[in-house]
Structure 1
């Protein structure tokens, strides 16, 4: 890991970002839910700047990525960083790259005056849960995630018209 570097994604990286997203979805058994395209990623990440991506790079090869965006804590009165995706190629796992990506984001959060770094993890993903707990990350068991998508999102949005 002595040659590990980090680099922000550039517009020309959308194909690589999509490959990471698809590999993560496969790992999470959610391949059928990926509808993102290179065009959608380019628009969301580079035109609208809705999120950012950083790559972990070793010897010129992108071996991991993190996709994140800023949120805001009203209780803290400060922004935070929400980690949407973190993925390291399977053959590169166990070498500290995931931890290095999280440390990079933690340092970014501190530099930007953020009050927290947070993410979700699937309940069945024991290797990741154990890894996060080894960092002293605290699960937020008292919270339940709610989501509107597709028709349910459309239905509620129509009530605003």
Structure 2
């Protein structure tokens, strides 16, 4: 990606296997930022498989400045039957505190937008906690809050219960 005039030495690239330990650090920092550090079960060996294994479920781009990774975006492809086209769901977005306010986040989002357009994807979406200052940046770039769509999650024991299995049976 071309450098941004606001941050001339920052560039974005797809993550490499060698970036996985740094990405795992940033995921933990994001969990800590949200006060959920103890809930984060991500380790770099797990992340390596999910990004670079035989059936990757996740993709990543990193922002580098002066040879150091200062930001990341973790994402995966979605699909819209109404658009009849894929899209991008942003799972995690993180910029180191010392790199914030320098355009790093915008550079990351711009690269994802370019990727989406170049690949014929019709959407770039994700969820943002209400206290995140990123919300105003998303709105300023045309982001619409999808008030009529609510996010629900079934996980843990509830997910097992839905299968009809007992939690002890699933562990065997």
Which TM-score bucket, shorter chain as reference? over 0.9
Root mean square deviation of aligned Cα: 1.2
**Partners in 1 of 2:18 and 2:100 — Cα distance?**
26
User: What residue number does 1:118 align with?
Assistant: 125
Task: Answer yes or no: is 1:8 the counterpart of 2:8.
Answer: no
Task: Answer yes or no: is 1:74 the counterpart of 2:81.
Answer: yes
Q: Give CA-to-partner distance per residue, 1:121-160, whole Å, 9 cap, x none.
A: 11232x121121121211111111010111111111236x
8 A contact 2:57–2:76 mirrored in 1: yes
Q: CA deviation at 1:114?
A: 0.2
Q: Secondary structure of the equivalent of 1:102?
A: helix
Q: Secondary structure of the equivalent of 2:110?
A: helix
**Partners in 2 of 1:54 and 1:24 — Cα distance?**
16
User: What residue number does 1:61 align with?
Assistant: 68
**Partners in 1 of 2:92 and 2:101 — Cα distance?**
18
Bigger mean CA offset, 79-88 vs 5-14: 5-14
Task: Answer yes or no: is 1:36 the counterpart of 2:79.
Answer: no
User: What residue number does 2:113 align with?
Assistant: 106
**Partners in 2 of 1:41 and 1:7 — Cα distance?**
18
User: What residue number does 1:93 align with?
Assistant: 100
**Partners in 2 of 1:24 and 1:45 — Cα distance?**
18
Q: Secondary structure of the equivalent of 1:151?
A: helix
Stretches of 4+ aligned residues off by more than 6 angstroms: none
Q: How many residues align?
A: 158
8 A contact 2:21–2:44 mirrored in 1: yes
**Partners in 2 of 1:128 and 1:73 — Cα distance?**
25
For structure 2, the residue ranges without an aligned partner over 5 or more in a row are 1-6, 166-172
Using structure 1 for the length normalisation, give the TM-score: 0.93
Q: Give CA-to-partner distance per residue, 1:66-96, whole Å, 9 cap, x none.
A: 0011000011000000111111100110111
Q: CA deviation at 1:39?
A: 1.6
